[in-house]
Structure 1
């Protein structure tokens, strides 16, 4: 279906030092940046810690906004709208700004390259059939081109009937991953635009509704002129993509942590201060199948946690905080709960959200402290925990310790 180029209504000049200039097309403010400056603007927003929804707007999107009030309101309040097609680019030019057309795959690749220099990580959401292969594919393509790119996570976008709790859990997983740039690709432009705005309201990061960027990224490696390349080159590229996909499976923060738990033969994870359950959900997606006991004393997060754990028979929830039992904020001692939460012979790993709380938890474990094979906590420790050795970080901002021997 084709649409006429929307009428341009003039451009707005920002104050000195403000955001890039905009041009209004069919009532929607577009920022006519060329691909490289657009990537730099995304990195700038991410480094600033902004909550920003970014939308690639083609002619169809601008035309649809004319008869969809919800989409129009969403785009008018967006942090950044980029012209994604010749029509919007020509409309921007007629508004007095240089012509610019931002192509989804180019924006993705340009931003990944710029983000490498800035040390930023990415999270990929695909609005396709919810299979692991679909979520892994764009990650593999990125790693072929940029092996040092930081991909903190990849998963399908929640379905159209997703609840508010499911959206909150996704935002929590993105927060836990440490990703600052979140790419939403696949089919269904309206769904992508809505997801970007919704997630930006839940957690501060840069959310890019990138259109079919993931699919087009893959097609660039598997169709068009690529098909005319020698068969040996095509085979080698397929090998590279398969290797990158396999490399990613063991590379993400939760995947690395799940592998560490498997190597240490961990049977039980205690998640102290579990909040809404994003940590355990990440471990489950990464392949950890052992038992989990989550502790959350706050009623609001605990309700979400219980809903998250409801369908998992190996995941229990208790309304306690763990500590040494001293004072009003001392929490419950682990040795007093030991028989209720552990089984004989289980190897134990404890995750804490409170930095510097490790000693209090181990004091509260009493004679069972030696059964805590590993610990994970937020932040860096100034001095090593006696009897434990730090391993290379698997989750950004965390330290993981394992008992010596």
Structure 2
């Protein structure tokens, strides 16, 4: 089937309404004792030029001070905030601050701020400061937010970059959370999304994720290498997990085609034989309980939908090198692609399988592979070309290679200053 037909097919099934939210990690500075810091003069007429806040050296609890400063910046910008000082005890250590005290508090509209132990200074981080990892989570936003020039996300990130001395490096992740708004989202649809992600992971998601000549950066934990399901099926074994349930086997037969990659097919059979969303979500985690780069967070109530997490990216918001919007759009397209009927979904997976099988046979260049697969999701060459320029910078010696990201100094403020100028 032609790429044009695949593109039309993806458009036909793109009406599923979804919301997205973000998790962004960064490092905030604390002064070191014994160092004399010389900051820019405050005597300027430009109210937008300000010295970013730095945690004082004498602060006895740096994390508490940093989280509080983040909270103050968000509240000043009319945002509700949830501060979690201990993510391992979230229910007892989260405090809410609502921007509109006259309305009914809604914790689903809060930004979350918490420590991030996986975000830390590297050898080439600025040495004149101590650095503390912070994880910022957004509330859910509609799709229209992504294309809004004055979006709340840009406004909040602008406030933080203006107000805090921030450094980002190769430990600073950018995670996209996608949630279908047509609740409840069924176990069947969750299996369809997992299937699609797994079939596309090697030739699409791994190739657009931070990588060096095809080798993913250490934070990328693919389903193929890290999930419990993969650990149950060794390469070449073609093994089965358990006796088939007749109903689940029939549903699988209607949705899952025969694939050229028999190891992948065996793993996907495990996916389709799971009996609950909790079992499926657990199967996608690592044997140590850590989430893979694609993860599922089950809904808290039967009337709600699960959240699907795409954890492949890093946050490097430098001019012309910010991949955030591409990851958001791709994640939404993947979810929307599940809105096909059983026969059309099975046909779609089969078409992807044939494309992937032909890549090696035709010695296709890596960029042509992932752009071909993007086209099946309705994402054009024009859309993907700027992303290709960003991905090219992950190669050794270029701007987004691990060592050069780690050597970046303080995060600039230029893009956010433009937003503030329009708002004031």
Give the TM-score category using the shorter length.
under 0.3
Q: Select the structure of larger CA radius of gyration.
A: 1
Q: Highest relative contact order (Cα 8 Å, sep 6+), 1 or 2?
A: 2
TM-score computed with the length of structure 2 as normaliser: 0.23
* Greater strand proportion: 1
